[in-house]
Amino acid sequence: MLAIFTNPTYDFIGRRRWAYAVSVALMLVALGSIFVKGGLQYDIDFTGGTLIEVRMPQAVSVGTIRARLATVGLEHSLIQEFSDSRDVLIRTQVAATDLAELSQRVRGALDPDRVGAPEIRRVESVGPQIGHDLRQQAIYAVLASLGGILLYIWLRFDLRGGVATIVSVGHDVLICLGALSLTNREFSLPVLAALLTVIGLAVNDRIVMYDRLREIRAKKAGKGVTFADEVNLAVNQTLSRTVLTVATVVLSAATLFLFGGASLETFAFVVLVGAITGPLSTVYGAAALDVDWRTWIARRRAPRLAASVRGGRGVRRS
């Protein structure tokens, strides 16, 4: 296996307070953006309506497009430009029954002078009930995946590791959703697929780390090594593998983001954000939380243990 680091000894757990601060700040920014904007923007897959992708013969401003659509009663449509300002996405909450007729209306409105006909590249229509059902199914899919992860890690390692993993995965998902909100991107079915991909990558990272931690604990048992030191050692020993995995995912996602076209751009964006934040939450979401949780339990048990020892000595003296 290719090793980028040779016997690294970085004190990740010792700097966990700073990492906590960064993570909390990122989550507050994400929540703040979602709250200020009144929630996420949902694609028609979840809201219902009609989506029309148009390529204009030349660049036209959003204001001009809206004014032209107003002539056919579509002035309240959501209009989004892609990186190429000739490509425009028009989304209306009206579910059309005749897509061909709607396409003709839009084409005629966008080319009132008949100078150059816009190219209708895609037309999709989803009913409101289907959108509602898809939104429910998306929530169930995420909850089912998190429940399965918790059960698997609980059975294979321990409950604390499972809970810490779920918390850290929630951290990744929230930051991805915040990035969507900050960049005014829509939550769509490809985004749901990207979130499930991010969850899978994150859990894979945690399982590798916990497997190494279990091996280290078996070797160091009875040698006076603290749990925090064991976690640090496990993170350092899997550091090369983590960096290589992240680099591979980032390169693949960046390629899709730059050259995959509009349909894959948001998917790749979410995977990029999740790949970058994943290692942070592996170390400081799962591992560090596990350390602090065990430390807190040990401190609570210490007074009780001392009291029981004193009580036992009193009994023997009598």
For residue 79, the SS3 value is strand
Determine if residue 280 is left, alpha or beta; phi over 0 gives left, psi from -120 to 50 gives alpha, anything else beta: alpha
pLDDT reported for residue 67: 84
CA 60 – CA 50 distance, rounded (Å): 21
How big is the CA angle at 250 (ends 246 and 254), to the nearest 5 degrees? 180
pLDDT reported for residue 30: 93
Do 202 and 69 share a structural domain? no
CA 173 – CA 106 distance, rounded (Å): 37
pLDDT reported for residue 316: 45
Q: Where are the alpha helices (DSSP H) in the chain?
A: 16-36, 44-47, 62-70, 99-110, 128-156, 159-182, 189-220, 227-237, 239-259, 262-281, 288-317
pLDDT reported for residue 304: 62
Contact call for residues 91 and 80 (beta carbons, < 8 A) = yes
CA 27 – CA 277 distance, rounded (Å): 11
Determine if residue 158 is left, alpha or beta; phi over 0 gives left, psi from -120 to 50 gives alpha, anything else beta: beta
Q: Which residues contact 153 (CB under 8 A, 6 or more apart)?
A: 161, 162, 165, 203, 206, 207, 210
Contact call for residues 230 and 216 (beta carbons, < 8 A) = yes
Nearest to 292 by CA among 160, 98, 141: 160
In order, the DSSP letters of 107-166 are: HHHH-TT-SSPPEEEEEEEE-HHHHHHHHHHHHHHHHHHHHHHHHHHHHHT-HHHHHHHH
CATH code where residue 60 lies: 3.30.70.3400
Q: What is the DSSP letter of 82?
A: -
Do 293 and 219 share a structural domain? yes
The reported pTM is 0.74
Q: Is residue 177 part of a domain?
A: yes
CA 18 – CA 38 distance, rounded (Å): 30
Contact call for residues 185 and 130 (beta carbons, < 8 A) = no
The residues with which 42 forms a beta bridge, in sequence order, are 187
Q: Is residue 154 part of a domain?
A: yes
Do 175 and 139 share a structural domain? yes
CATH code where residue 167 lies: 1.20.1640.10
The single residue listed with the structure tokens 């507050």 is 28
Name the token pair of 232: 């640090």
One digit per residue, the tens of pLDDT, for the chain of length 318 reads 455 667 778 888 888 888 888 888 999 999 999 999 888 888 777 777 787 888 887 777 778 888 888 887 777 777 777 666 678 878 776 665 667 777 778 877 887 666 567 778 887 776 666 666 777 887 888 788 878 877 887 787 777 878 888 888 888 899 999 999 998 888 888 888 898 888 888 888 888 888 888 888 888 766 777 888 888 888 888 888 888 888 899 999 999 888 877 678 889 999 999 988 887 887 777 778 888 888 888 777 766 655 565 555 544 443
Name the token pair of 86: 């000739």
Domain enclosing residue 26, as ranges: 17-41+131-305
For residue 193, the SS3 value is helix
- Domain stops at, among 77, 92, 126: 126
Do 159 and 294 share a structural domain? yes
Q: How many domains does the chain have?
A: 2
Q: Is residue 277 part of a domain?
A: yes
pLDDT reported for residue 33: 92
pLDDT reported for residue 317: 42
pLDDT reported for residue 152: 81
